[in-house]
Amino acid sequence: MSGVSRIRKFEMPDLGEGLTEGEILRWFVKVGDTIAQNQPIVEVETAKAAVEIPAKWPGRVTAIFHEEGATVDVGAPIIAIDTDPEAGDPPADDAPADGPAYVAEERTAVLVGYGPKTGAAKRRARKTATNGMAAAVGGAAVEPAAPPVPAPVPAPAPAVPVSVAAPVSSAPAGGRPAAVGPRVPVLAKPPVRKLAKDLGVDLTALTGSGPLGSITREDVQAATSAAAPAPAMAATAVAAPAFGPDREQRTPIKGVRKLTAENMVASAFTAPHVTEFLTVDVTRGVRALDRLRERAEWRDARISPLLLVAKAVLLGIRRYPMINSTWSAATNEIIIKEYVNLGIAAATERGLIVPNIKDAGRLTLRDLADELTALVRTAKAGRTSPADMAGGTFSITNVGVFGVDTGTPILPPGEAAILALGAIREQPWVHKGKIRARQVTTLGMSFDHRIIDGELGSKFLRDVGAFLSDPEAALLAWT
């Protein structure tokens, strides 16, 4: 090895700006395993997300330094790899048991692609999210995407939760991913590839129905539908806490939950919150969704009230750009954003997160529906990346999925407003001078009073309510 140790220690990488440690959730390999470069070897949770870390070198695992559940500082070794296992046993002074003998290379703070490829990598089987509380996209039950690969970015703050159930991994019982053969080229257009990536569908496993055997959007969606099992009846069950002899249970505050708490406290005591409420008759909006579901081009889409709320918010921001802004104490400015990164609050097993749809204001209604579906599935599978949670400009939280009428949400740091959607219930309502049963919901919007005064906040909330009351008329009048 020309003076370079065969046994190389792999250090805990920096998975995001400002992070100093990570908790090892699960090892995909064990001592003695032969691994390929860029093969996922461990799942680590930081204060921002849970991510899978790939191997920096191909070779054989000679040592694992930390067990599952251990919290490890960035830069500390977590695994040792013999990069030339075919050469026989390593020299005694190169043995894994002797920690100081390892030769560490410069660490590159990226998630995948640790330098030029030197070995043939193998694909691992994707995981598919199963099991879940069948909350509609509107309820923000949030489904699987590809393993996170973006570069580290600042984390956003989570907001009010939405329902999410635990994912079920397709990995073998031993906890290790199954190796798959080399990648087979497939014919598929870029939008289809993106959809497959968002939904966690392996294109190489599909048979295309398009021209020349190309894979179509319908092929991808059919594969997703076929793989989705019926919701488990036990999904709503809550595990009984395990109490100690003192009849108390203690849960460490770490990871996503710790960051959530810090961000919420910072937001609550930094931005002066104002919350307004509006009760709306959304009967026509619900009927519009029903008509949309009947259209042939929408039959494979997930449609829920959240789609209408998201569209109403995007159109409202176009009317009132100040809603989509941030307060900069560093520069003493109010920064108005031309783009809208629309956050959807979601509750996961690891805590609250707010992934966002980038540049949502430029999407068609159908594209917006598909992005909401992908966001929901990715969060439900626990595969939301730091990049997906960074840079939000306006957030929506659907507390209605829990049967709650509305709430007073706390602003994610850096955002000027957040909207809560309450449960839609059949209630007595005065309609055309008579009391009738109508579909009614209550909206709650919190906003930063340094940026948004009562008039602006009230007009925006009023217009969002007007859109939900009669979306077809609003679309004709506003666009």
Q: What span, in angstroms and rounded, lies between the C-alpha atoms of 128 and 169?
A: 6
Q: Contact, 218 vs 244, CB < 8 A?
A: no
CB 85 within 8 A of CB 34: yes
Structure tokens, 31? 């001592």
* 7-110 shares its CATH topology with 256-478: no
Q: Which of 394, 407, 413 is nearest to 320 (CA)?
A: 394
Q: Which residue has the higher pLDDT, 92 or 196?
A: 196
Query: Mean pLDDT, to the nearest integer, of 127-143?
Result: 36
Task: Report the distance separating Cα 55 and Cα 236, nearest Å.
Answer: 37
Beta bridge partners of 417: 447
Q: What is the three-class DSSP state of 223?
A: helix
| 427 has a pLDDT exceeding 80 | yes
CA atoms of 118 and 14, how far apart (whole Å): 23
Alpha-carbon distance 440 to 328, whole Å? 38
For 323-357, what is each residue's pLDDT tens digit? 999 998 888 899 999 999 999 998 777 677 899 99
d(CA 302, CA 398): 16
Least confident range from 102-111, 252-261, 405-414: namely 102-111
Which uninterrupted H or E stretch holds 274? strand 273-281
pLDDT higher at 173 or 317: 317
Better-scored residue on pLDDT, 26 or 479: 26
What residues are annotated to the active site? 449
pTM across the whole model: 0.55
- Read off the pLDDT of residues 204-213 as tens digits, 9 standing for 90 and up: 788 888 776 7
Cα–Cα distance, 99 to 91 (Å, whole number):
14
d(CA 100, CA 327): 49
| pLDDT category of residue 476 using cuts at 50, 70 and 90 | confident
Please give the CATH superfamily to which domain 256-478 belongs: Chloramphenicol acetyltransferase-like domain (3.30.559.10)
Residue pLDDT, tens place only, 280-305: 999 999 999 999 999 998 988 889 99
21: Cβ contacts below 8 Å, ≥ 6 apart: 12, 46, 71, 72, 73, 74
> Using N-to-C axis directions, what is the helix angle for 365-380 and 190-199, rounded to 10°?
30
Average pLDDT, the chain: 75
**Is 390:412 a contact under the CB 8 Å cutoff?**
no
Spell out the domain ranges in the chain: 7-110, 171-231, 256-478
DSSP 215: B
- Tell whether the model's pLDDT for residue 120 goes beyond 60: no
CATH architecture entry for 171-231: Irregular (4.10)
Distance CA 197, CA 144 (A): 8
> Across-strand partners of 344?
396
CATH 3.40.50.10490 fits 7-110, yes or no: no
202 pLDDT more than 60: yes
CB 41 within 8 A of CB 66: no
What is the mean predicted confidence (pLDDT) over 446-472? 95
Distance of alpha carbon 325 from the chain centroid: 23
**DSSP characters for 107-165?**
P---SS--SS--S---EEPPP---------GGGT-----PPP-PPP-------S-----
Look at residue 4 in the predicted model and tell me its pLDDT.
62
- Of residues 282 and 163, more confidently modeled: 282
Condensed to tens digits (0 to 9), the pLDDT of residues 51-66 reads 788 888 899 999 999 9
SS3 191: helix
